[in-house]
Structure 1
Amino acid sequence: MIQRSLRTLIAGGLIWSLASATQAFEQTGKVDCIAPANPGGGWDFTCRSVGRVLGDLGLVDGNVQTINMPGASGGVGFSHVVQKRAGQENLIVAASTVTTTGLARGQFPGLDASMVNWIGTLGADYGVIAVAADSPYQSLSDVMKALKDDPRALTFTGGTATGGWDHLKLLMAADEAGVDDLARIAYLGYNGGGEAVTQTLGGHVDAFTGDISEVISFIESGDLRPLAILSEERLPGKLHQWPTAREQGIDTIAPNWRGFYMPSDVSEDAYGWWVDTIDTLYASDEWKSVMTQNGLMPFKMHGEAFTTFVNEQIAQITDISRQIGLSR
């Protein structure tokens, strides 16, 4: 009797194991990566660079196709995924602090962070305030002195809408520098850093506020000149020559994480597979090289820990926005 029961349990366990193995997610076919902005910005960089490394490492079965979907600082892409792509397990979406800013400020009407699955990060991209090479402004201190005298003295631009992360990091620096009437500082937002850089280089605005990965090629070519990088200390390698805001007496740090979310209603196996795959990519030498080349700093957060982090950051940004009068 005992032996028969044991055989039954063993058989049942084998059947359960086989069923689990059968249900395990196996990624096949093309992967879509939505970059919720125009080509040339940080989200576009995230999709294209990650897609290339996923393919080079053989981590995905098919090609990774980047789909640009600009609008509302990521809100159009977020809404599309929530409303039309639920359950699609071959879809990932580039995200960043810009995404959590939009969610924190209610810029994605009727949507919240719980409506998607947060996969993980790929590093942090620190903020930068930069000018065209021939700009008369030589330091962030010069800029802030001008804004203290007149908050409308300069016009800034970035790859997010008014009240988005690029705008907020500028206002955080201005607030720290003692600039009054932050709401009067002129800022023009675009759907992606590419357009904002074009406006800066064309002389249509005075300064750019964004992230290092968006402008590193323009810095290397000499077209853009950083006034300050918003990091704890100078970044390593080729970016080491550029000063931080902190060095100039303006204690503002603004890291922008890069990562992914995927639709709701996917299987736990599929979600776990993507978490593990992005973790594998993050640890690879190939991705470390991409990080070094593009000014990304180490920042690892995956799965449940990342979901918790996202919710905490949304709460923090909501609080910051209220302090500077930009919350809705």
Structure 2
Amino acid sequence: MKFKTTALSLALAFAATTGFSAGPFEKTECIAPAKPGGGFDLTCKLAQSALMDSKVIADPMRVTYMPGGIGAVAYNSVIAQRPGENNTIVAYSSGSLLNLAQGKFGRYSENDVRWLAVIGADFGAVIVSDSSPFKSLKDVLAAVKADPTKVVFGAGGTVGSQDWMKAALTAKAAGVDPKAMRFVAFEGGGEAMTALQGGHVHVYSGDASEAMQQQKAGTKIRVLAVMADKRLPGDLASIPTAKEQGVDIVWPIVRGFYMGPKVSDADFNAWSTAFKKMMDTPAYDKLRAERGLFPFDLVGAEADAHAKKQVTGYHKLIQEFGLAVAK
């Protein structure tokens, strides 16, 4: 027993001195920074399927849920406690970048992680329950204009979040000050969708792709409008845009992944290459389309530059809405 213990100690010491570590594609993990059922969950599960199909990973990627602060808990945890994990990726969206721009992730900024990849684009959507009296976006606007206290918006985010911005733009289109609208914040899209079903909120300002997935799963909801320049293809082709209904609101959403700040260049580049290989396959196009996402592929340095550019743009939007920035 003593020999075995000594041998193990020597092996561990050798590994430490030689820099030996597990490969980046062993025991992989994707962190979804919310509870199951929302956009982060969708993003992780897309990577989980596509990386297996393209044979980048041999074993299924584990999906871990880390809700809190609409991404802040996961962001801080990875930077402070897991900065060098070469087999861990974290889902993010434009909403994550918006929160960063508002200082909602604490003392860390967009420069404190390694932005790995953008794997597709989504668009905002105005969603109601199947039993809702609202049959079109114009119905919602008319009700909000008549009495903003009688229409409750719900979304996976607090005031100033991406989903709040979509609700605020909808209220503004009705001629109502966004500060006067009734808004309930949830931890993620899954909770907001449940509240919509229960009648606790009347309108969910969510994302087109997650709405499509919920409908496929049998959730009784109706999408009144998508916030895109033109109608989206596939399963969403029958849904009119907000523009078609006389409301000039366009809200694109990117979905992607970041890694910890101390992941080595070699491992980061290996992941970048893997994502590029994955997204270049026809099989990936099919998987992405099934989840309601649309082509928008960036990896490595391009993905990093895009994330930082978006944060800069959101700083301007925050000023326009007069939102406070956390210190």
Is the structural similarity TM-score above 0.5?
Answer: yes
Is 1:151 equivalent to 2:113 in the alignment? no
Q: How far apart, CA to CA, are the structure 2 residues paired with 1:132 and 1:88?
A: 41
Greater Cα shift, 135-144 or 224-233: 135-144
Q: Which amino acid aligns with 1:231?
A: A
After TM superposition, give the deviation of residue 98 of structure 1 in Å: 1.3
After TM superposition, give the deviation of residue 161 of structure 1 in Å: 2.2
| Aligned counterpart for 2:215 among listed residues 213, 216, 219 | 219
Q: How far apart, CA to CA, are the structure 2 residues paired with 1:152 and 1:163?
A: 19
Q: How far apart, CA to CA, are the structure 2 residues paired with 1:153 and 1:27?
A: 52
Equivalenced residue count is 306
Is 1:35 equivalent to 2:32 in the alignment? yes
Q: How far apart, CA to CA, are the structure 2 residues paired with 1:217 and 1:36?
A: 19
Q: How far apart, CA to CA, are the structure 1 residues paired with 2:244 and 2:157?
A: 26
After TM superposition, give the deviation of residue 77 of structure 1 in Å: 0.2
Greater Cα shift, 220-229 or 252-261: 220-229
Q: How far apart, CA to CA, are the structure 1 residues paired with 2:25 and 2:254?
A: 28
Residue 307 of structure 2 corresponds to: 310
Greater Cα shift, 129-138 or 303-312: 303-312
Q: Which amino acid aligns with 2:189?
A: G
Unaligned stretches of 5+ residues in structure 1 = 1-21
Is 1:191 equivalent to 2:191 in the alignment? no
Residue 127 of structure 1 corresponds to: 124
Residue 102 of structure 1 corresponds to: 99
Is 1:49 equivalent to 2:46 in the alignment? yes
| Aligned counterpart for 2:319 among listed residues 313, 319, 322 | 322
Q: SS of the counterpart of 1:225?
A: strand
After TM superposition, give the deviation of residue 194 of structure 1 in Å: 0.8
After TM superposition, give the deviation of residue 193 of structure 1 in Å: 0.7
The sequence identity of aligned pairs, in percent, is 34
Q: SS of the counterpart of 1:152?
A: helix
Q: Which amino acid aligns with 2:316?
A: D
For normalisation by structure 2, the TM-score amounts to 0.89
Q: How far apart, CA to CA, are the structure 2 residues paired with 1:28 and 1:127?
A: 33
After TM superposition, give the deviation of residue 28 of structure 1 in Å: 4.4
Tell me, yes or no, if the aligned pair for 1:97 and 1:256 is still in contact at 8 Å. Answer: yes
Tell me, yes or no, if the aligned pair for 2:46 and 2:288 is still in contact at 8 Å. Answer: no
After TM superposition, give the deviation of residue 61 of structure 1 in Å: 4.3
Greater Cα shift, 215-224 or 282-291: 215-224
Tell me, yes or no, if the aligned pair for 1:173 and 1:251 is still in contact at 8 Å. Answer: no
After TM superposition, give the deviation of residue 40 of structure 1 in Å: 0.7
Q: How far apart, CA to CA, are the structure 2 residues paired with 1:294 and 1:61?
A: 23
1:291-310 to 2 correspondences below 5 Å: 291-310=288-307
Aligned CA distance change for structure 1 residues 322 and 27 (closer, same or farther; 3 Å): same
Q: How far apart, CA to CA, are the structure 2 residues paired with 1:250 and 1:93?
A: 34
After TM superposition, give the deviation of residue 92 of structure 1 in Å: 0.5
Is 1:80 equivalent to 2:74 in the alignment? no
Tell me, yes or no, if the aligned pair for 2:156 and 2:186 is still in contact at 8 Å. Answer: yes
Deviations 1:265-314 (CA, angstroms, capped at 9, x unpaired): 12111111111111111222222112211211111222222212111211
Q: How far apart, CA to CA, are the structure 2 residues paired with 1:28 and 1:248?
A: 47
Cα RMSD for the two superposed structures: 1.9
Whichever of the two has the greater Rg, that structure is 1
Residue 115 of structure 2 corresponds to: 118
Is 1:93 equivalent to 2:90 in the alignment? yes
Q: Which amino acid aligns with 1:109?
A: G
Residue 205 of structure 1 corresponds to: 201
Q: Which amino acid aligns with 1:200?
A: L
Q: Which amino acid aligns with 2:208?
A: I
Q: Which amino acid aligns with 1:102?
A: N
